[in-house]
Structure 1
């Protein structure tokens, strides 16, 4: 059961808040003085503090509340604090929120807004703790490894990165699959940077950006006069990558004749430049990527089956950003580079958006927000994203892991788990059904 501490010199307000939150499954402790608050904090493990700003008759400046808040922050830095007052000037509230207070609620309060504010604060606390734990785990698991700037918090990505690091020392061809903008090139960088070839060239070719008639010359090179406009000898990407790694992005776009040559070089390491009969030999580790279904392309005669087995010795499937929502906020903060912070509403907008453009779209949104936001805290409107109504959120916007953890922490009480996640009980039931989780 989650423990809330209410600090207010008016016993009637403490009683009202006890009634309101007890109905939602919280355990509420009330203190009318700062001294009582410290005693309760020493006796119980508190999950959140609702703090008034004035504790003496006639006190309206909030000096006592300000001092108490800073002491709470020093002694209990992980406990969210929500400030409540009818008197304190807005300037002081803004100062304390900037100093670390979770939010500011004016009296008289709106019950639903207060409940939602508390639920969101607790959810953010859980997510922050999860992120910190995962960061510690990552530091231990990936110590001494070059992550090439990859930012992730989800267990899905951690498993994928671990698998990529396990494959990195080998020479086996790797096929990275996933939608556009999901970060396939980042996984390719990681494979090369942690391989014995890391001091050798790492050559990248975007097959989707090359005209079909230039693909073979790009990959295998061409002698002068081999085709119209070839005025001098051209070194192909395979030659340039000799001893290192070659990354072929969108390999499904390679022509059938180019596929035949690629198959030969993968089998024997041998190839000829266009217009040349001289056989050349290279030692290259191939990393490929695609956002298309190559098995469907094989069935349609657009991709060679024998080549598929050569490039797909091991496959790394990179999920869409919407399938790993735990990565959204860490990535957003990474793209903002500490220049500006995200408001709570902005974070919620980011979490609810479906991200059809994946990580690349998120990066563009953050860059635009940095340019257009006039304050140090980015508001939801500055993101330029449409609002997604709560009842239309995707069922996988909360991961199975988050859902199960919330149910464990709530000891199986649905209403409490739903409040912790910031959704309704009906929405929680729908997500449990979606993941096949039985009701406790």
Structure 2
């Protein structure tokens, strides 16, 4: 639990009640300390006062909800009325209690909020697992990568992960964190290529309120959020020279200086970096600091491109198909041997990410139980599939449905060698209806 109240005596009363019931309690005297505690403490629920100096509780609640933070909030105030309560509940509060709270009423609200907070955390974990699949593959290349991860994970050493886009560099970083002594602490990811150069210092190191135009509140930097855990600097080769110098200071001294703070803060963070660039060439060209490169590359792991271990494709396809069928509510699908052979022959310039996207497209577009080679024109050597691209370029939902149905019928007819009766049976529609669709969509067999 996090208790946010400028009244120290009230904080102590609430903390004592909750502590006596076995809750772990952190305290904050104002909104800005609450932002810091929330980033570092990760509570299952928050008890929040309304009247506080600076940003009030309602403003803080709105700020959290605007940033997508779902932590359950109980409003506890001595200035309660029906109008205030309705505003708080509309802003996203879970409960509204008057000061001083009745012990039983407080405990009931907290128990409900914590239970909901734990459920939200479990849902987030499940979503992360769907987004970040396990490190799959039984090939020699993937077995070696897993062995290297197991060796390096327990150490504190900085790790540089190199490899082409789509080869799973973030999965490797997460696996290192999960196997390390820091596994229960935060794993914070920063995409250095996605943050504008003028904002990346603030994102990494934080800033004080008023440090620059637009800095309307204090921001906790990613390095501080990761204190005790791991920070993953993705696409580290895209950092500016100024930011590289500050990151080097963190690696050398363990010190972070928020923008506008004028003072440093010590942090205990393990750094894992990743890049698809050749950093040695970047150093030679003067675009990357040599001293930072040596600091980052204490241990170097390489994620192999998919074309180097095509024997893992069936396992990957099976996993991604089950995942996509569940996500898009499709019946479980199989892949024909010819389709898997065709996938193995394709060079996969986009690597595992491209394979995952292809599986999703096929699952979305093809309602047949078994996926065959005819469903895979984009990997047959004919280049990109213009028909499929046209489907996803539809300007409206109705047009998408029409284009998708046309493409689906065309592929099913091709699969059954344009035998209308066999196709109608396979897709479970009357033959007369299929004839009407063929005529409406002007479908013709290509000689």
- Structure-1-length-normalised TM-score: 0.54
Q: What is the aligned partner in structure 2 of residue 158 from structure 1? A: 143
Q: For 1:297, which of 272, 282, 285 is the aligned residue?
A: 282
1:65-80 alignment runs, 5 A limit: none
Q: What is the aligned partner in structure 2 of residue 282 from structure 1? A: 267
Q: Distance in 1 between matches of 2:272 and 2:221?
A: 16
Q: Distance in 2 between matches of 1:194 and 1:175?
A: 17
Q: For 1:379, which of 348, 364, 372 is the aligned residue?
A: 372
> Per-residue deviation at 1:372?
1.4
Cα contact 1:349–1:380 (8 A) shared by 2: yes
- With over 3 angstroms needed to count, the CA separation of the structure-2 counterparts of 1:386 and 1:148, relative to structure 1, is closer
Q: What is the aligned partner in structure 2 of residue 189 from structure 1? A: 174
Q: Indicate yes or no: 2:352 matched with 1:367.
A: no
CA RMSD of aligned residues (A): 1.4
> Per-residue deviation at 1:244?
0.2
> Per-residue deviation at 1:374?
2.5
Q: Distance in 2 between matches of 1:223 and 1:360?
A: 38
Q: Distance in 2 between matches of 1:321 and 1:227?
A: 45
Q: What is the aligned partner in structure 1 of residue 249 from structure 2? A: 264
Q: What is the aligned partner in structure 1 of residue 49 from structure 2? A: none
Worse overlay, 331-340 or 276-285: 331-340
Q: For 1:167, which of 146, 149, 152 is the aligned residue?
A: 152
Q: For 1:223-246, what per-residue CA distance to the aligned partner results, in whole angstroms no more than 9, with x for missing partners?
A: 111122111111000000000000
Extract structure 1 runs of 4+ deviating beyond 6 A. Answer: none
Q: For 1:296-334, what per-residue CA distance to the aligned partner results, in whole angstroms no more than 9, with x for missing partners?
A: 111111100000010110000111111111111110111
Q: For 1:383-402, what per-residue CA distance to the aligned partner results, in whole angstroms no more than 9, with x for missing partners?
A: 3424249xxxxxxxxxxxxx
> Per-residue deviation at 1:148?
6.3
Q: Distance in 2 between matches of 1:221 and 1:384?
A: 48
Cα contact 1:365–1:384 (8 A) shared by 2: no
> Per-residue deviation at 1:216?
0.7
Q: Distance in 2 between matches of 1:232 and 1:388?
A: 54
Q: What is the aligned partner in structure 1 of residue 73 from structure 2? A: none
Cα contact 1:246–1:286 (8 A) shared by 2: yes
> Secondary structure, in 3 states, of the residue corresponding to 1:295?
helix
- Structure-2-length-normalised TM-score: 0.53
Q: For 2:184, which of 199, 202, 222 is the aligned residue?
A: 199
Q: For 1:313, which of 291, 295, 298 is the aligned residue?
A: 298
Q: Indicate yes or no: 2:326 matched with 1:341.
A: no
Q: Distance in 2 between matches of 1:384 and 1:188?
A: 34
Cα contact 2:343–2:379 (8 A) shared by 1: no
